[in-house]
Each structure stands twice: as structure tokens, then as C-alpha cells.
Structure 1
């Protein structure tokens, strides 16, 4: 199952970019044997200032047709890393060819986009900068692949 990291904003060179690249590289090495990957990043920017609605339109265009959609939103469901790994495995095992992990901009995600998602996840009740959320998603993808492979990276 191909994965798509769809996010508002461009991640420039710096510590966040280095971390995302590192975790996605690790995921690619371990995920392919599990039928997960590669991860393609899709960055969108609303240069006209249309807010959440405009960003939702750009994100919707970045999500492949028929992809399972997993949105990151503070109002979403909190889950453990093993539960997230199981979610990815369920999408893969039910024949989904693609899954998109969607990260909104500074104002969050449009309710219309949230309502059509297969899953809406939260990294807790705190608000996180969307660039750090991208790092956290990349790390959780790698952790999920490690969990599914039975590797020791994830310890309880």
C-alpha cells in the first residue's frame, strides 16, 4: 500500500526536514517488506489566502482517488502506536492501494474534509505546530512498520 503524506506548507531545510527524511527513509527500508510504502510527500500552499476551505480543496486534489484518508486533527481520536499500526495493516489487508495522511495548516482542517475521512487522529489535546506534526507522523509510520515487523524499536 502506497502512502501519501499530504500537508499544507513547505518543509524547508532544517531540523524538521532532516527528521522527516530520516524517519521516512527508515520506514521505506522496513515497510516495503510488509507491503507498506513508499511514502510520497505532497505539499500544498494556498497563495491566495482562502483559508481552510481553499486548503481543503488543494489537499483533496493531492489525495489519490480511492485512498484511505487519515486526518491529523486535535478533535480526532487518540490511539496507541500499536493501534495505529493495526489501522494501517487493516487498510493494507482490505486491498487499499493507497492511504493518505493529511495535515492541515495553522488553522486546522476544514470540517468538510474531516467528515469524509476514514479516520481522524489526534496527538493529544495540545495544539502542535503543523511542521512538528509532520515529524511526528513520519516517526509513527516508522514505529508502525517496526511494530508490524516485530522489531524492537517499539517498547511498551
Structure 2
């Protein structure tokens, strides 16, 4: 399986980018494959509703056809790390080739993306900065991979 992260906005150099690269760099040879980052941006100054709709179009197009689609959303399901790993492992066992993640911009995800997602995933009831969520997701993917392969990272 390979993992694709489609996210609104660009990570600039600095601590958030470094943290993301640290965990994304640990993936690649295990069952979740490399983590590919696809950043999208709408640069036109659109009203909020139009901007969210346009970002939704860009995010949808950023995931390969047939991907498992996971939308990061505070209204989603909160899974512990073991459950997240089991869910990913189930998709691997089902022969799914790509798992894709959507992270919206400052105003969130378009409702159509939430409706199309195979899973709405929450990192808790608090709202996290959308640029930081990339690092949280990369770490949880690495953690899931170590759970699936029996590596001691998760239990250490």
C-alpha cells in the first residue's frame, strides 16, 4: 500500500516542516509504503464558501482514483493507535493499494468531501492547526506501521 496526504496550504521551512519530514521519512519500506505529500492552494481571493468548494475540488483531484479516502475532521471518529493500525491493516488485507488523507484549510473541508470519505477521522475534540495535523498524521502512520510489523516503537 502507499499513502498519499492531500492538504491545503504549503509547509514552509521551520519546526512544523521538520517534524513532518522526520516522521514521513520513517515510512517507505513497510506495509504503508512511502507517504507522498500533495499540497494544493487556491490563490484567488474568493469568499469563504467559494474557497472551501474550490479547495474541495483540488483535494479530490489530488488523490489517485480508487484510493481509500480518509478525511481529517474534528467531527470524525476518534480511534486509538491500535484501532487505527487495525483499520489500515484491514484495507491492506482487502488489497487496497492507496490510502489517501484529506486535510482542509483554515475553514475546514467542504461537506461533499466529508460525505465522500470512507472514514472521517478525528484527532480529538480540539481544533488543531491544519499545518500541524500533517505531522500528527505522519507520526500516527509511522506508529501504525510499527504496530502492524511488531516493531517496539509503539510499546516502548
TM-score of the aligned structures, taking structure 2 as reference length: 0.93
Structure 1 distance, partners of 2:90, 2:126, is: 28
Q: Pick one of 35, 38, 43 that aligns with 1:39.
A: 35
State the shift of 1:155 in Å.
Answer: 2.5
State the shift of 1:86 in Å.
Answer: 1.0
Aligned match of 2:117: 117
Where structure 2 has 5 or more consecutive residues not aligned to the other structure, the ranges are: none
Q: How many residues align?
A: 152
Aligned match of 1:56: 56
CA RMSD of aligned residues (A): 1.2
Aligned match of 1:20: 20
State the shift of 1:33 in Å.
Answer: 3.6
- Which secondary structure state, in structure 2, belongs to the residue aligned with residue 27 of structure 1? coil
Aligned match of 2:11: 11
**Maintained 8 Å contact 2:30/2:145:** no
Structure 1 distance, partners of 2:6, 2:154, is: 25
- Which secondary structure state, in structure 1, belongs to the residue aligned with residue 106 of structure 2? coil
State the shift of 1:58 in Å.
Answer: 0.4
Q: Which runs of 4+ in 1 moved over 3 A?
A: none
Structure 2 distance, partners of 1:129, 1:12, is: 14
Structural mapping, 1:80-95, within 5 Å: 80-95=80-95
Structure 2 distance, partners of 1:102, 1:120, is: 10
Structure 2 distance, partners of 1:101, 1:37, is: 14
1:70 and 2:70 matched: yes
